[in-house]
Amino acid sequence: MKIRFWGVRGSIATPGKETAKFGGNTSCIEVQCGDKLLIFDGGTGLRLLGNHFAQTDLHQAYIFFSHFHWDHIQGFPFFMPVYNPKNSFVLFGENKLANTLEETLSGQMAQPNFPVALKQLPGRLTFEHTESNAQFTIGNDITIQTCPLNHPSGATSFKITYKNKVFVYASDHEHTDKLDERLVQHSENADVLVYDSTYTEEEYYGVTGQSKKGWGHSTWNEGVKVAKAAKAKKFVLFHHDPLHDDKFISSIEKKAKKAHKDSIAAHEGLEIKL
C-alpha cells in the first residue's frame, strides 16, 4: 500500500509563499493497493493527481467522497483523466439532502458554474451510493469500511484494509466531550490514521479569538487521543486551516510529535509506504 498526499488544506485553497512548504491545495489523497488506485476526495489537489495519472499506464480508478463541501469536490471538473474516453472511474459517496452523488457533481458543473456538463465527459463514470456504516470490497483483496463523522450535513470516514495493512481517512469531523468510540473502533490498529486537525485547542475553545466550537472540525489534540485509544501507529494531521501558514503548522507538528511520537503534519507530496 502506498499513500500519497496531493491536497492537505481545508475550507479553501491557499496558494502563496507562506504556504508553499505544506501546500495550499484542498483535500485529495491517493492510495495505491497493488494495481488498483483509490482516490479519497476531490479537492483542488485532484487536478495535480490527474496530471500525474495521465502520465501513467492506468485507465481506471476508484474515487471516494467523504462529503460534498466545495473543498472536497472543486478539483473534479479539472481532473483531466475524465476527459479521456479510454478511462473509467467508479465514484462512491452518500446521498446528501435528497441528492444522489451524480446529481451533486452534476450541479457543480451546471451552467453558469462550468462550461462542460457532467454528462458530456468522455470518460466512463459509474456512481455508487455508500452508507456511512457499511463494508464492501474492491476486487478480491481490498476491504472498505465506512464510519459516520460529526460534520454539518454529515461526512464519512473510510477504512481501507489491504494485505493486513490498514489506512483510515477521517477528515471533517468535530469531536465532542466524550471520545468517539465508533471512530476509535473504526481506527483500531491502523497503520496510518489521517485525522481532521484543523484547529488548535486555543482556537477551538475561543482562547485566542472567536470559538470554533460547532464549526464541524477538530484539533490535533483530539486526534492524538483517538490515535492512542485505537493504537494507531502513525498519526497524520490533515485539513490545515487556511489561516495557518507553514511556520504555524510546523509548530503544531512539533507539539503533536511530543504527544504521539509517530506524528506528522500532512504536506503535498508526502508519501507513506506500508
| pLDDT band (50, 70, 90) for residue 28 | very high
Mean pLDDT of 208-232: 97
Q: Is the pLDDT of residue 240 over 80?
A: yes
Between strands 271-273 and 2-7, the pairing is: antiparallel
Residue extents of the structural domains in the chain: 2-273
| pLDDT band (50, 70, 90) for residue 134 | very high
pLDDT of residue 98: 66
Q: Is the pLDDT of residue 96 over 80?
A: no
Distance CA 185, CA 21 (A): 33
Predicted TM-score (pTM) of the model is: 0.97
pLDDT digits (tens, 9 = 90+) for 146-191: 999 999 999 999 999 999 999 999 999 999 999 999 999 999 999 9
Distance CA 196, CA 181 (A): 16
pLDDT digits (tens, 9 = 90+) for 46-94: 999 999 999 999 999 999 999 999 999 999 999 999 999 999 999 999 9
CA distances to 90, 132, 183 from 104, rounded to whole Å, are 15, 17, 26
- The CATH number of the structural domain formed by 2-273 is 3.60.15.10
pLDDT digits (tens, 9 = 90+) for 9-27: 999 999 999 999 999 999 9
Cell matching residue 261? 511520537
Cell matching residue 185? 473502533
pLDDT digits (tens, 9 = 90+) for 180-189: 999 999 999 9
